[in-house]
């Protein structure tokens, strides 16, 4: 699939299945990871120096490049610690909001670098939830944080690039707010199959394009045909952007991901 088709797919304008790899395992750059898995798109982590080269390497083989932009919560947590951010989201909301606003400016600078490097879009990544529920107060997230996530992505939104949002956990309740803020897609890292199905439905219901469908923990631990069967159930619901959930840590998992992609392609062709 061409980069242009992938670009359109991130806005829900393509019905064919598109394949991607998110954070590649350490030591395996995005271009190599995309080649190994025969992916149509890949996430690229901004390392400042080398970002343009990494994007160009993907474009050279017609793979779409989406640069990961650290969200404002993660920026502040990196300095103060996540526990401190959690406490302040309940007790010092005004001062935390001001600090997050400044952090959103830092995140927006990464978005600008991504555009200058020629990226096809950005993935704003901020973990607002986990497997058992919200990390931050949900009202604080909907009233304050989502708007700042959009500010982090604003240069890309203004330039007409595709913009997606990533968080661990189930953020189905945020889908409509994310769509209103300007995001066109959401990367699902929900874990359990039943939760993923519900998240796909929630995203599509909010006019967001869902990305995901494959839990990295299943790669190598579950039969390829079984994983492909689960993904096909999701594509029947409307999932078109098939990728891992962001948890790949080994080369062996990337090989297993490629096998799943090939199995899905074979099923789609009737082989």
What was the pLDDT predicted at 38? 93
Pairing of strands 133-134, 162-168: unpaired
In the predicted model, what is the mean pLDDT of residues 179-187? 95
How many Cα atoms are found within 13 Å in the side-chain-facing hemisphere of 28? 21
Tally of CB atoms within 10 A around 13 = 12
CB 80, CB 57: distance < 8 Å: no
Q: 72-80 and 146-159 are packed helices; what angle lies between their axes, rounded to 10 degrees?
A: 130
Q: Looking at the DSSP assignment, which residues form a beta bridge with residue 66? A: 43, 121
Tally of CB atoms within 10 A around 238 = 15
At 151-166, the pLDDT tens digits run: 999 999 999 999 999 9
What was the pLDDT predicted at 212? 93
Quick one: how many helices (H) and strands (E) in the chain? 12, 10
> Residue 184 corresponds to which tokens in the numbers above?
């066109």
Nearest to 117 by CA among 74, 150, 155: 155
pLDDT band at 111 (very low <50, low <70, confident <90, very high): very high
Mean pLDDT of the chain: 90
Q: Calculate the CA dihedral of residues 119, 76, 20, 224 and round it to 10 degrees.
A: 170
Pairing of strands 18-21, 241-244: parallel
pLDDT band at 190 (very low <50, low <70, confident <90, very high): low
Cα–Cα distance measured from residue 121 to residue 119, given in angstroms and rounded to the nearest whole number: 5
Residues 6+ apart with CB under 8 A from 12: 184, 207, 209, 240
Cα–Cα distance measured from residue 54 to residue 42, given in angstroms and rounded to the nearest whole number: 10
Q: Residue 82: is its pLDDT beyond 80?
A: yes
Give the DSSP H/E element, type plus range, for residue 167. Answer: strand 162-168
Domains and CATH numbers, the chain: 3-269 (3.20.20.210)
What was the pLDDT predicted at 47? 67
> Residue 173 corresponds to which tokens in the numbers above?
């309740």
Nearest to 85 by CA among 140, 154, 11, 29: 140
In the predicted model, what is the mean pLDDT of residues 196-208? 93
Please indicate, yes or no, whether the overall pTM of this predicted structure exceeds 0.85: yes
Q: Residue 269: is its pLDDT beyond 60?
A: no
Output DSSP code: residue 18: E
Q: Residue 204: is its pLDDT beyond 90?
A: yes
Distance of CA 62 to the CA centre of its chain: 20
Most confident of 49-58, 110-119, 126-135, 192-201: 110-119
CB 181, CB 147: distance < 8 Å: yes
């Amino acid at each position: 699939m061409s980069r242009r088709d992938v670009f359109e797919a991130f806005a829900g304008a393509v019905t064919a299945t598109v394949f991607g790899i998110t954070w590649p395992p350490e030591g395996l750059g995005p271009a190599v990871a995309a080649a190994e898995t025969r992916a149509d798109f890949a996430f690229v982590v901004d390392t400042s120096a080398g970002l343009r080269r990494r994007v160009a390497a993907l474009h050279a083989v017609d793979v779409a490049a989406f640069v990961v932009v650290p969200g404002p919560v993660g920026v502040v947590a990196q300095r103060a610690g996540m526990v401190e951010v959690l406490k302040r989201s309940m007790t010092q909301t005004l001062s935390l909001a001001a600090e997050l606003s400044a952090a959103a400016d830092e995140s927006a600078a990464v978005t600008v670098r991504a555009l200058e490097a020629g990226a096809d879009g950005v993935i704003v990544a901020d973990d607002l939830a986990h497997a058992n529920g919200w990390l931050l107060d949900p009202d604080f997230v909907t009233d304050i944080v989502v708007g700042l996530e959009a500010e982090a992505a604003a240069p890309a939104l203004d330039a007409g690039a595709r913009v997606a949002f990533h968080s661990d956990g189930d953020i189905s309740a945020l889908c409509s707010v994310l769509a209103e803020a300007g995001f066109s897609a959401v990367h699902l890292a929900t874990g359990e199959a039943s939760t993923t199905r519900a998240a796909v439905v929630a995203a599509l219901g909010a006019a967001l394009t869902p990305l995901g469908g494959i839990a990295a923990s299943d790669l190598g631990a579950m039969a390829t045909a079984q994983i492909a069967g689960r993904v096909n159930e999701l594509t029947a619901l409307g999932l078109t952007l098939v990728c891992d959930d962001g948890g790949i840590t080994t080369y062996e998992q990337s090989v297993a991901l490629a096998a799943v992609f090939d199995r899905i392609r074979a099923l789609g062709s009737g082989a």
